Amino acid sequence: MKEESLPKISKDLCSRLLSDLEAAKRPVLEAVKCSLDNSFYNPKVGFLTPGKKMVRTELNVSSVQKMSRAIFLLEILLRNVETGAVNTKRELYYMAKGEVKHSPELKPLDFQDQSESDSVIDFICEMLECYREELNCYANDRGGQTYSNQLVVTETLPDGGRAVVDLGSLGTTPFQPKNRPQSLQLKAKSRIDFCLIVESEGTANTFVANGFCKRHRAILMGAQGVPSNAVRGWAKLIQDQLKVPIYFFGDLDAYTMQNIFRTLKAGSAASLIRNSDFSAPDVKFLGVLPEDIKKYDLFDYPVKESDPGEARALKKAVDALKNDPFFKDRRNKGLAEILHWLLKNKRRCEQQSYFTVNSRDPQMPEKIIVEKIKKKNYI
């Protein structure tokens, strides 16, 4: 969906609602149902796509509050789009509160906390089938710090100007991808062999400090946990514009497999409508693989089922194998097998365990990673 068309689509929608009301007909708002039961995975497309299920919100006394809030926030967002102003969700929350403060008749719309306004913003995006960045609402994105001696990024600025960043000239300072990576153009100064995304930001920094980028013609990125929109969009951009193989290196546990790697590779059920721009289907799972534990004699430990987070991740893994179209697809059999292994053995192994292989050689994890890439030991 094009950004330019959003104000028009919004106005058309509002006009339709108004016409319905004039005719005393119940207006209905429809939005794509963003949930796993409405997700489809086609390996040729490479990411989760929405099915035909829609969430219908018909105007009645119960939904009138939600609908009023949605139209109220839509008006603020459209104003931003028209003027080119950008805001975070938190800022929008305060802006909404400010409107209420200055117009007492709007008091019933007041948000008690940010989660309320956030859910209305999400609803608007689902209704207009756009992502919030298209409505100039940016997240305070984290992660994605990138290092490379070969990469040059050109950013198109809102005023039409251009900014060129040569990552090789930044030294050990990382490049931070923007919320809308679509406005970036990538170019390789010289050949790039691969891109490595490391789950832990700290480990990625260690690799750089130890000279990873000097020894390899590569792009190194820290994901910092569950990938934000910026990380996802950035990975997609690297995949599409540079056509280099991308590898993900993270923990061996159910949480990493599903919440981090699956989201990076195929998007998530919650973001069905924007997975096309925020997933990198070619990314491979480099490790930690179950066989690595034995091969490198890695230090692993049992999953603490008493820990609510870990227990939830295991339960989610069972659900994923049953219901997640990504893991159910036979092309991702290898990844599903990892989940099976995790459920069966109830053990986990962290990415930092590579440092146990030879604690006196700081480059050992790097050597293992490169060896794995060379031997195509990934899924």
Whose Cβ is closer to another protein: residue 108's or residue 302's? 108
Pairing of strands 54-58, 87-88: unpaired
Sites of contact with another protein (CB under 8 A): 10-11, 14-15, 17-18, 20-26, 59-62, 64-65, 67-68, 71-72, 74-75, 78, 105-106, 108-109, 112
Whose Cβ is closer to another protein: residue 22's or residue 159's? 22
- Say how far residue 109 (Cα) sits from the centre of its chain: 31
Query: Which class for 46: exposed (0-12), middle (13-18), buried (19 or more C-beta within 10 A)?
Result: buried
Pairing of strands 151-156, 162-166: antiparallel
To the nearest 10°, report the CA torsion of 55, 60, 64, 66: -20
Minimum CB–partner distance for residue 111 and another protein (Å): 10
**Three-state SS at 184:** strand
Cis peptide leading into residue 55 (ω within 30°): no
Minimum CB–partner distance for residue 105 and another protein (Å): 7
Minimum CB–partner distance for residue 210 and another protein (Å): 48
Give the Cα separation of 12 and 5 in Å (integer). 11
Are 343 and 372 in contact by the 8 Å Cβ rule? The answer is no
Whose Cβ is closer to another protein: residue 74's or residue 244's? 74
Whose Cβ is closer to another protein: residue 3's or residue 110's? 110
Query: Which class for 169: exposed (0-12), middle (13-18), buried (19 or more C-beta within 10 A)?
Result: exposed
Minimum CB–partner distance for residue 10 and another protein (Å): 7
Whose Cβ is closer to another protein: residue 315's or residue 333's? 315
Minimum CB–partner distance for residue 127 and another protein (Å): 14
Cα–Cα distances in Å, from 127 out to 112, 255, 279?
23, 30, 21
Minimum CB–partner distance for residue 71 and another protein (Å): 4
Please state, as a whole number, how many other Cβ atoms lie within 10 Å of the Cβ of residue 377. 16
Whose Cβ is closer to another protein: residue 17's or residue 226's? 17
Whose Cβ is closer to another protein: residue 10's or residue 145's? 10
Q: How far apart are the first and last CA of the chain?
A: 33
Which residues of the chain form beta strands (DSSP E)? 28-32, 39-41, 48-50, 54-58, 87-88, 137-138, 146-148, 151-156, 162-166, 184-188, 194-198, 218-222, 246-249, 284-287, 301-302, 347-348
Phi, psi for residue 373 in degrees, rounded to 5: -65, -45
Minimum CB–partner distance for residue 184 and another protein (Å): 32
Minimum CB–partner distance for residue 11 and another protein (Å): 6
Minimum CB–partner distance for residue 22 and another protein (Å): 4
Whose Cβ is closer to another protein: residue 130's or residue 153's? 130
Whose Cβ is closer to another protein: residue 160's or residue 309's? 309
Whose Cβ is closer to another protein: residue 80's or residue 185's? 80
Pairing of strands 246-249, 194-198: parallel
